[in-house]
Amino acid sequence: MSLISLTRRSLFAAAASTALVAGLGFSPAPLAAQTPPGVLIVGQIAEPKSLDPAAVTAQNDFRIVVNMYEGLVRYAPGTLEVEPLLAESWEVSDDGTEYTFMLKEGVTFHDGTPFNAEAVKFNFDRMLNEDHPFHNTGPFPLAFFFSAVQSTDVVDDLTVKFTLNEPYAPFLSNLAYPTGLLVSPAAVEANGADFGRNPVGTGPFKFAEWRSNEAVVVEKNPDYHGDMAGTEAVVFRPITDANTRVAEMLSGGIDVMVEVPPTALSEFQGDGYQVVEQAGPHVWFLILNAKEGPFADKLVRQAANYAINKEALVNEVLEGTAEVAAGPTPPAFAWAYNDELDPYPYDPDKAKELLAEAGAEGAELTFYVTEGGSGMLDPIPMGTAIQADLNAVGFDVKIETYEWNTFLGEVNPGLEGKADMAEMAWMTNDPDTLPFLALRTEAFPDQGGFNSGYYSNPEVDELLSKARVATDQDERAALYKEMQAIVQEDAPWVFVANWKQNAVTTDRVENFNLEPSFLLLLEDVVKN
Amino acid sequence: MGSYILKRLVSAIPVLLGITVIVFLIMAMIPGDPATAILGSYATPENVEKLNRDLGLDKPLVVRYFIWLGNMLTGDFGRSFSLNRPVLDEILERFNATLILAGTAFVICSVLGILAGVISAAKQYGFADKAITFVVLIGISVPSFFLGMMMILLFAVNLRWLPVSGMYAIYGGGDLPDLAKHLVMPAFALAVVATGVIARLSRSAMLEVLRQDFIRTARAKGVGERKVLYGHALRAAMVSIIPVLGIQAGFVLSGSVFIEIVFQWPGVGRMLVDAILKRDLLLVQGGVVFVAACYVFFNICVDVAQSLLDPRIKT
Amino acid sequence: MTFLKLLFRNRLAAMGAVVLGLILLLVLAIPVLPLQDPDVTNTGNRFVPPFSEGHLLGTDHLGRDLLSRLLYGTRLSLGVGIFAALIAATIGSAVGIIAGYFGGRTDNIIMRGIDMLMAFPYILLALAIVAALGPGLLNALIAVAAVNIPFFARNIRGITVGLAGREFIDAARLAGMGHTRIILTELLPNVLSTIVIAMSTTVGWMILETAGLSFLGLGSQPPQADLGSMLGEARSALITDPHTSIVPGVMIFLIVMSINLLGDGVRDALDPRLRSGALSRPRAQTIVDRKSPVPADDGNGLLNIQNLETQFHVGKRIYRAVNDVSLFVNPGECLGVIGESGSGKSVTALSVMGLVASPPGVVTGGAVRYEGEDLLSANFESLRQKRGDKVAYIFQDPLSTLHPLYRVGDQLMEAIQVHHKVSDKDARAKAVELLKSVRIPNAESRIRNYPHEMSGGMRQRVGIAMALANDPDVIIADEPTTALDVTVQAQILALLDDLRRERGLAIIFITHDFGVVAQLCDRVAVLYGGKIVEEGTTTDILDHPAHPYTKRLMACVPELGGGKRELAAIPGLPPIVSDLPPGCAFAPRCEKATEACKEGAIPLEGSETRAVRCIHPEEEIA
């Protein structure tokens, strides 16, 4: 707080003198929109919903919370591999149902309370036990990440044990996800439902203030147990409008901008800016309704994959901010990715041939398009271009656009009776998540899954079930690779793009990196 | 006068109640539900159902309405799930920003509009009149969001005279000059259309009044032209200008939605749009009731001002 | 036909019509224009700048031809705007008419509902409607129409309420017509022009609103173009490729502006008051544009009107309201000026201090001398200083001539303070004194009254008091008693007469009533068709009217105590002064008229004390 008031005061003095010179304070010379050194200003895409890591679901909110909180484990920088953080080490029982973590000693929360096994237990019980006294500080929408957890037990002050009801391979990876970040029990007890506005964690930055719709400010945690943060403070500014965000970046109002609109990238090619890119576990696809209509025929589904010019989409519509996707698993999961698969080539003639073979020329298709949404990139231009490509080979596509929440409300319960295809994108932390939730027979919408296109292949079902309980990574990798080959051939989706997350910084920002996990870790960043 | 105000306040109650019903019904009609919005990609039917139960959305509509209304009357507007804080806190904070923006725009459009209209009428068919008429016409023909976008492009990005967006500078701000700098573009963009409408109306109201017999009387008394225009005529013209100010205040308040989006102003309009999209029922309902109450209250003020100005109105 | 003529006389409206016409023409010609398919994408060719080969306006973010999209989009946006206006107008007007016609509880309930809709921020209402119905241009159209219904309902209701109480509606009801028939055949035709005016002024607004919704992504579905969605889609490239935003933005601007211009024109052309060109601001002083030399001072009277000519110039027409009128009045004397309405007597009176509304009034000849100085040549400031101070007016109908929003005391004080540096307190005391002098009871409390709180007689007394405020030398009273009943009239006349005798006032008393003249005036001038047809002392004229018109005019007056005498109205109408006959203006209505009367100008013959303008006078004058 002291830093901010100091900076505020000195700048206030400067502003006041300018105001004296220039009347109301509009200096006729260009505004010196220089942000102060040591303070990093990040242009976010939206106001955070909450700063309680257990309550948030959006990447936008994750970007803030990962800098204030820490979990037992984290993704090692630059990878999606899990490494220790607040836990120094862990042991997994042979049957894969017991995880015991040895915690780091001497860690305290920002409010001074100690981090210990009790705190870990509190966190998971709060999320998972409906009768926990602070369960009502939720809702905790992603609690099902840990639905395999049967109990959390304190072994001793620095040892905690999770008991799972069945082996669950993604467990460690889920612990590294922001939902697994640990909050201060004392702060939850003190603030109750308002904890999300008064966050307390153990991370390199601690919460300073939240001015609604203006900024969330975090400042360096002087008592941090690891390496000190490189900046004094970070300000997260919510700027929902992409265009305004670009304008702010160009006029010097922010230092870092995430999710740069592809059309604006060319503005930042010159000196003074650096563009950072990082591929991550993201896949953008079209769900095809395999239950009814033209896409019930595999040939027609393959035809759609051939008909769409994915190169043009990623290189032109998305200005090279994505790569063409080959299958359901993004290459960012390097260990599980089948790199022998090539994407469906753009081949309209082949598509026409397949359509003729299937007798589906001139098929009328209803195409659900969203206006925006997490990971959806530029859904309307992409949808429009896809529509044009499909029409070019003889489909007759009609677009219906929906705002994101309505869109999910329409798509998640299944496309049956409504549409033939829908846009969708997922960002996941484990190769298991997406196929398990969206490609299995048991994941049909009426069974609580996201298989909105009703793809069903018993072989795939079996491969996925096996991979989930396998504890050996090589074994899992082999299973996933086999699954990808089958799914690509079956074409339940049109595989379109894997997004390369991007960000722009000014040249005053150093050590700025994007993570494959899409999380924005700012502790090493330096601002001159 | 006191009893008149009281009477008007009382008569506003059924209107406000009606608004609560309308907003509640509309929100109930909108497809998609808060649970889906909260859960995002993970909204399985099962999760959605559980969450809806947690949020108390499984009760019948009528019951929910009366629970909400009852709570609101005791000052409890509920908790916004999308912002994770009490609705009232959020509204008050946002409302403050909107009042600053819309209030400034309203002052700009009233003052500039009436001034332009009066000058235009006083110099009828002169150069000033033609120039004003032309500018006003341009003003009422440009979509405010387009104007806002163009202003950002010119004044913030190219010339760098003014900040792009927001209400205060993130650092070193918080004082009045800072607010003024941030306010210039949005307030002006918001005021343009209303200024045009008010200017046109003021002009014709002035012309109408200037033809009245009592203006001739004033002149026959030897009253100077300036006083005839700005005293006698303007005062009488205000009788027909004030109700239009009331209507324009409503438009300014509504129009602030676009401006708040374009300029990232942390106001209630943008909050409501977000809230509708996120299906944040309580926030929408509370916000709309607040805005409507503000509008109704403002109209009562207009009527009171009108009755103060015009003694012929029975109070 | 006249409507179109009127419309195009307004140059701005004509410009709007031309621009809109061009846009419509382009849009209608879409099928025959060599346009590219608006929906075919070519992503390799995106953001081509305007004026490039093959793309006149460039291409958008998917490489689609902007010109083609612009024209298709314009067609859609125009259609939606007009259609939404039609829907809103139809439903809104129906609601308004029903509320206004039935009144009472129906009205109350409907209007409360309308109030609620209006209190709901319109854009949020539209947003909520679209959210409920799902996106799409049709739903946006419904939303925009719905939020505009209150506007029409309110407007139309206001007018209907006024009409519903009128006789013809009662008559229709008595004739046994059903409600539906009355509404459709009696009310609707009368409110139709208002509906058209309201529509023409709101179409532009609707297009903006629809564009706003489309801008928020709630309008047309891709790939279909409308102007708002084009703007919305282009926004992300605003900084890099502004042309994609500017093209639809400018088009919206052009459409809305031309519709507004045209709408203004339609309103002006349909509004009867505007049609006459009367809605111009009168200047502080009547325009003086004398074609003939200023007559030399002949030394007559305190106030001397010499050969005055005042005309009204409306369009190309010239109304000769006052033709070569000469009058004078001495201190302590009362001169009556008498004539029917339209005879030019009020215009003569107003011309004296330059109070004829101008435009359209112009003084085209003669002189008005006060103590020998020509007021027509005086600059405004010196004229203003004499207004109310030397020469004061009393007007007819004090309800409209007193400012409705000022207390009468303040209006009196202003009259004093305009000419004399007097403290408020003294001015107020003087105001009370003035009110007392015109015999207003409770003057101390009356000064706090507003004009509408007083009776007609009281208001007229206030008018007189105001004229007396600065002890003027001349009072010009323009039919000050016409609006009053006989008793009050008598009191006021007596009052004026007293003042004349006490203060030596010169009074020019304008009236159409010989009875009033008889009571008050020393001399009389009779005006007809803007000319003096007869003048002389009151007794001479009353006893021996020489002009047939004077005689007929006198016959119209019932004489007190005169018993049953036949009141003879003058057949025919006063002449239209824009089209005066070459000879005697009264000839067409005169029983004694001969061919000679209609041939050439007839001079005013006789002496300064007695003259007549007639070749067949009733009585030869000395």
Alpha helices in chain B (DSSP H): 2-29, 34-39, 45-54, 61-73, 87-122, 127-139, 144-151, 176-210, 213-220, 225-227, 234-262, 268-277, 281-309
Q: Can you tell me the mean pLDDT for C383-389?
A: 86
Tokens of B138: 């341009």
Going by their DSSP bridges, the two strands C303-314 and C361-370 should be labelled as: antiparallel
What pLDDT sits at residue B42? Answer: 64
Polymer length of chain C: 622
Amino acid at B43: A
What pLDDT sits at residue A382? Answer: 93
C405 to B236: CB separation less than 8 angstroms, yes or no: yes
| C239 contact partners, CB below 8 Å, separation of at least 6 | A243, A246, A247, A250, A264, A267, B153, B157
For testing contact with chain B, the best of C77, C114, C124 (most B CBs within 10 A): C124
* Residues B18, C93: Cα–Cα separation, whole Å: 22
pLDDT digits (tens, 9 = 90+) for C38-53: 888 887 788 888 888 8
Contacts of C61 in chain A (CB under 8 A): 263, 317, 381
C135 to A401: CB separation less than 8 angstroms, yes or no: yes
On the question of a cis peptide bond just before residue C571, with omega within 30 degrees of 0, the verdict is no
- Positions of E strands within A319-417: 322-324, 364-370, 396-402
Q: Can you tell me the mean pLDDT for A250-257?
A: 88
Using CB atoms within 10 A of its CB, is residue A27 exposed (0-12), middle (13-18) or buried (19+)?
Answer: middle
Tokens of C121: 């921020």
Residue C59, phi then psi, degrees to nearest 5:
-125, 165
A386 interfacial to chain C (CB closer than 8 Å): no
On the question of a cis peptide bond just before residue A139, with omega within 30 degrees of 0, the verdict is yes
A141 to B82: CB separation less than 8 angstroms, yes or no: no
Interface of B with C in 140-159 (CB under 8 A): 140-143, 145-146, 149-150, 153, 157
On the question of a cis peptide bond just before residue A133, with omega within 30 degrees of 0, the verdict is no
* Residues B70, B17: Cα–Cα separation, whole Å: 12
Residue A217, phi then psi, degrees to nearest 5:
-110, 130
Closest residue, chain B, to C450 (C-alpha): B311
What pLDDT sits at residue A15? Answer: 37
Confidence of residue A186 (pLDDT cuts 50, 70, 90): very high
Give C55's strand partners: C52
pLDDT digits (tens, 9 = 90+) for B282-306: 888 888 888 888 888 888 888 888 8
* Residues A121, A152: Cα–Cα separation, whole Å: 6
* Residues A323, A283: Cα–Cα separation, whole Å: 10
For residue A437, count other CB atoms closer than 10 A to its CB: 19
A261 to C135: CB separation less than 8 angstroms, yes or no: no
What pLDDT sits at residue C570? Answer: 67
What pLDDT sits at residue C562? Answer: 47
Most confident of A332-336, A350-354, C145-149: A350-354
Tokens of C459: 């208001």
What pLDDT sits at residue A164? Answer: 94
Residue C217, phi then psi, degrees to nearest 5:
85, 15
C217 to A383: CB separation less than 8 angstroms, yes or no: no
Checking if the pLDDT of B147 tops 70, the result is yes
A244 to B279: CB separation less than 8 angstroms, yes or no: no
User: What is the H or E stretch that residue C535 is in?
Assistant: strand C531-537
What pLDDT sits at residue A220? Answer: 93
Q: Mean pLDDT for chain C?
A: 82
Range with the lowest mean pLDDT among A120-124, A309-313, B206-210?
B206-210
Cα distances (angstroms) measured from residue B309 to each of A142, A250, B2, B17, B241: 61, 50, 16, 30, 11
C419 to B222: CB separation less than 8 angstroms, yes or no: yes
Q: Which CATH number fits domain A69-186: 3.90.76.10, 3.30.420.40, 1.10.10.10, 3.40.50.970?
A: 3.90.76.10
Residue B64, phi then psi, degrees to nearest 5:
-60, -40
> Helix (H, G, I), strand (E, B), or coil: what is residue A422?
strand
Q: Are C448 and C407 contacting, i.e. CB atoms less than 8 angstroms apart?
A: yes
What pLDDT sits at residue B207? Answer: 84
* Residues C244, C233: Cα–Cα separation, whole Å: 9
Confidence of residue B248 (pLDDT cuts 50, 70, 90): confident
What pLDDT sits at residue B193? Answer: 86
Q: Are C362 and C320 contacting, i.e. CB atoms less than 8 angstroms apart?
A: no
Q: Can you tell me the mean pLDDT for B36-57?
A: 70
Chains that touch C (3 or more CB pairs under 8 A): A, B
pLDDT digits (tens, 9 = 90+) for A433-484: 899 989 999 989 888 788 999 999 999 999 999 998 887 888 999 999 999 9
Residue C364, phi then psi, degrees to nearest 5:
-110, 0
Using CB atoms within 10 A of its CB, is residue A43 exposed (0-12), middle (13-18) or buried (19+)?
Answer: buried
| Statement: A1-66+203-255+508-528 belongs to CATH 2.40.50.140 | no
> What ipTM was predicted for this assembly?
0.81
Tokens of C6: 């009127």
Q: In this predicted model, which residue has the larger pLDDT, A175 or A374?
A: A175
User: What is the H or E stretch that residue C202 is in?
Assistant: helix C188-215
Confidence of residue A9 (pLDDT cuts 50, 70, 90): very low
Distance of CA C469 to the CA centre of its chain: 30
Give C370's strand partners: C303, C373
Using CB atoms within 10 A of its CB, is residue A269 exposed (0-12), middle (13-18) or buried (19+)?
Answer: exposed
Tokens of A245: 């965000």
Residue A415, phi then psi, degrees to nearest 5:
-90, -5
For residue C66, count other CB atoms closer than 10 A to its CB: 26
Distance of CA C223 to the CA centre of its chain: 51
Rounded to a whole number of angstroms, the distance from the CA of A374 to the nearest CA of chain B is 8
Site of tokens 């990040």? A42
Contacts of B41 in chain A (CB under 8 A): 57, 374, 408, 426, 450
* Residues B8, B3: Cα–Cα separation, whole Å: 9
* Residues C399, C484: Cα–Cα separation, whole Å: 12
Alpha helices in B263-280 (DSSP H): 268-277
Highest CATH level, class, for A282-500: alpha beta
Q: Where do the structural domains in chain A lie, given as residue ranges?
A: 1-66+203-255+508-528, 69-186, 282-500
A6 interfacial to chain B (CB closer than 8 Å): no
pLDDT digits (tens, 9 = 90+) for C75-107: 988 888 889 999 999 999 999 999 888 888 888
* Residues C143, C146: Cα–Cα separation, whole Å: 5
User: What is the H or E stretch that residue A483 is in?
Assistant: helix A473-490
On the question of a cis peptide bond just before residue C359, with omega within 30 degrees of 0, the verdict is yes
> Helix (H, G, I), strand (E, B), or coil: what is residue B298?
helix
Residue A284, phi then psi, degrees to nearest 5:
-110, 125
Amino acid at C530: G
Contacts of A10 in chain B (CB under 8 A): 172
Checking if the pLDDT of A7 tops 90, the result is no
From the list A15, A50, A403, which residue is nearest B172 (CB)?
A15
Closest residue, chain B, to C151 (C-alpha): B247
Amino acid at C611: A
Annotation: CATH topology of C332-355+374-528: Rossmann fold (3.40.50)
Q: Are C70 and C249 contacting, i.e. CB atoms less than 8 angstroms apart?
A: no
Q: Are B194 and B113 contacting, i.e. CB atoms less than 8 angstroms apart?
A: yes
Rounded to a whole number of angstroms, the distance from the CA of A464 to the nearest CA of chain B is 19
User: What is the H or E stretch that residue A155 is in?
Assistant: strand A149-156
* Residues A424, A429: Cα–Cα separation, whole Å: 17
pLDDT digits (tens, 9 = 90+) for B1-25: 678 888 888 888 888 888 888 888 8
For testing contact with chain A, the best of C36, C40, C42, C43 (most A CBs within 10 A): C43
Closest listed residue to residue A415, CA positions, set A404, A426, A423, A427 = A423
Highest CATH level, class, for C2-28+86-276: mainly alpha
Q: Are A200 and A110 contacting, i.e. CB atoms less than 8 angstroms apart?
A: yes
Site of tokens 């005013």? C604
Confidence of residue A22 (pLDDT cuts 50, 70, 90): very low
Amino acid at C360: P
DSSP for residue A316: I
Q: Where do the structural domains in chain C lie, given as residue ranges?
A: 2-28+86-276, 332-355+374-528, 536-612
* Residues A53, A421: Cα–Cα separation, whole Å: 34
Q: What is the CA radius of gyration of chain C?
A: 33
Confidence of residue C573 (pLDDT cuts 50, 70, 90): low
Using CB atoms within 10 A of its CB, is residue B143 exposed (0-12), middle (13-18) or buried (19+)?
Answer: buried
Checking if the pLDDT of A24 tops 70, the result is no
Q: In this predicted model, which residue has the larger pLDDT, B51 or A352?
A: A352
For residue C488, count other CB atoms closer than 10 A to its CB: 17
Closest residue, chain A, to B44 (C-alpha): A448
On the question of a cis peptide bond just before residue A178, with omega within 30 degrees of 0, the verdict is no
Rounded to a whole number of angstroms, the distance from the CA of C468 to the nearest CA of chain B is 10
Site of tokens 């008595």? C174
Render the burial of A472-487: b for 16+ CB within 10 Å, e for the rest: eeeebbbbbbbbbeeb
A400 to C221: CB separation less than 8 angstroms, yes or no: yes
| A234 contact partners, CB below 8 Å, separation of at least 6 | A39, A40, A41, A42, A67, A205, A217, A218, A219, A522
What pLDDT sits at residue C571? Answer: 66
Return the sign of the alpha-carbon dihedral for residues A146, A148, A153, A156: negative
pLDDT digits (tens, 9 = 90+) for A331-345: 989 889 998 999 999
Q: Can you tell me the mean pLDDT for A317-328?
A: 91
Site of tokens 């009571």? C519
